[in-house]
Amino acid sequence: MSAPPPPATSAAVYLWGGQQVAPLQHPLLAGATAVAFGTTGYYLLLDPDGGVRALGGNVYGQLGDGSTTDRPDPVRVVGLSGVAAIAAGDLHSLALTRDGTVWAWGRNRDGQLGDGTQADRASPVQVSGLSGVIAIAAGDYHSLALRGDGSVWAWGSNEDGKLGDGTRTRRSAPVRVSGLSGVTGVAAGRSHSLALRSDGTVWAWGYNRYGQLGDGTSISRSVPIQTALAGASAIAGGLAHSLAIGQDGSAWAWGWNKDGQLGDGSYVDRSAPVRVVGLAAVAGVAGGDFHSVALLRDGSVAAWGDETGGTGPPKRRPVPVSVSGLSGIMRVHAGGPLSFAFK
């Protein structure tokens, strides 16, 4: 696998969810090529020049500007350049640079910054011992990295085994996830982790109370177990649910479903993948806390679950609905109650 690609371009960023019912071209997000939303209420913005800006709450330094002062307007994350991807957990932040190194800042009580300590950091520090990384993901209190050799690495909180190293011991430096090779993508929920292999199989580990590992049980796992889905081309994680795109353009979901975030027309939790109804030609998926979003190949966007927005007052939707006012969309993202679309 090659190095991580440079940031994509984006003409406009739309936001909806929470109190924002319909998609809004948000001025504070203007120019960003990617957005990551920390579930406690802060934003990371990746700029076309490879720099990162941040705004919102900053009690643990998660904005990375060298302070713990909340910022209502974007500030530059100090000391970072050449960034290709960003991710946000509950109170910690990650950045992947084009040279394949990973940087982290913010809350570090569980070692989720991966620098070998449990000291909070208000500016980026390099994650120890990692090189050749091509993708990153963040759970609430743990972090994941995919290397170009197809191996997966994890650090931070290990409650319920979400680091996948066969233990439940928290790690302040990266450890290799057991038994995985040939991985092409990673994703994280609040307390579970996902990996997509080159053969189209999906693997999962960590917390499984709601069936979010997709193995037909509710047993948490400290090593990866194969999900009952074959032929996947992409994956995403919500708070306690999981999503995948089939190679035929179908969408699949499993796990917690109290608000219809699985999109199968019910509010029943599912411990094995179910097909999202009424969707075909899916190009991208994203999971929020209690909702899901899909990008279709024609550039339109569908959403389901709670706080989908774009369809009137927020309400539960157990099947996908078209998000109004969006066309020509290139990418989607979700975090907490919010959804983002990039044009």
144 within some domain: yes
Q: What is the spatial distance between Cα 170 and Cα 3, in angstroms, rounded to a whole number?
A: 29
| Residue 168 and residue 200 share a domain | no
SS3 309: coil
| Residue 187 and residue 174 share a domain | no
340 within some domain: no
Give the pLDDT confidence score for residue 313 in this predicted structure: 58
Q: What is the spatial distance between Cα 218 and Cα 211, in angstroms, rounded to a whole number?
A: 5
Q: Which residue type occupies 197?
A: R
| Residue 289 and residue 250 share a domain | yes
SS3 25: strand
| Residue 200 and residue 143 share a domain | no
| Residue 249 and residue 164 share a domain | no
Contact 234, 293 (CB under 8 A): no
Q: What is the pTM of this model?
A: 0.95
| Residue 222 and residue 118 share a domain | no
Q: Could you write out the DSSP letters of every residue in 155-186? A: EE--GGGTT-SSS---EEEEEEPTT--SEEEE
| Residue 150 and residue 227 share a domain | no
| Residue 214 and residue 166 share a domain | no
| Residue 271 and residue 140 share a domain | no
The pLDDT tens digits for 107-154 are 999 999 999 999 999 999 999 999 999 999 999 999 999 999 999 999
| Residue 219 and residue 164 share a domain | no
Contact 269, 290 (CB under 8 A): no
| Residue 266 and residue 197 share a domain | yes
| Residue 192 and residue 168 share a domain | no
49 within some domain: yes
Average pLDDT per 10 consecutive residues for the chain, totaling 343 residues:
64 87 90 94 96 98 98 97 98 98 98 98 98 98 98 98 98 98 98 98 98 98 96 98 98 97 98 98 97 98 79 77 95 95 95
Buried b (16+ CB within 10 A) or exposed e, 93-102: bbbbbbebbb
Q: What's the domain count of the chain?
A: 2
Give the pLDDT confidence score for residue 311 in this predicted structure: 47
| Domain stops at, among 178, 205, 229 | 178
Cβ neighbour number for residue 265 with a 10 Å cutoff: 14
39 within some domain: yes
Contact 54, 43 (CB under 8 A): yes
Contact 162, 207 (CB under 8 A): yes
| Domain stops at, among 144, 178, 212 | 178
The pLDDT tens digits for 246-264 are 999 999 999 999 999 999 9
CATH number at residue 205: 2.130.10.30
What residue numbers bound the domain in which 38 lies?
32-178
145 within some domain: yes
Q: What is the spatial distance between Cα 106 and Cα 121, in angstroms, rounded to a whole number?
A: 5
Give the pLDDT confidence score for residue 137 in this predicted structure: 98
Give the pLDDT confidence score for residue 315 in this predicted structure: 81
Distance, CA of 130 to chain centre: 20
Burial class for 149, CB neighbours closer than 10 Å (0-12, 13-18, 19+): exposed
Contact 326, 23 (CB under 8 A): yes
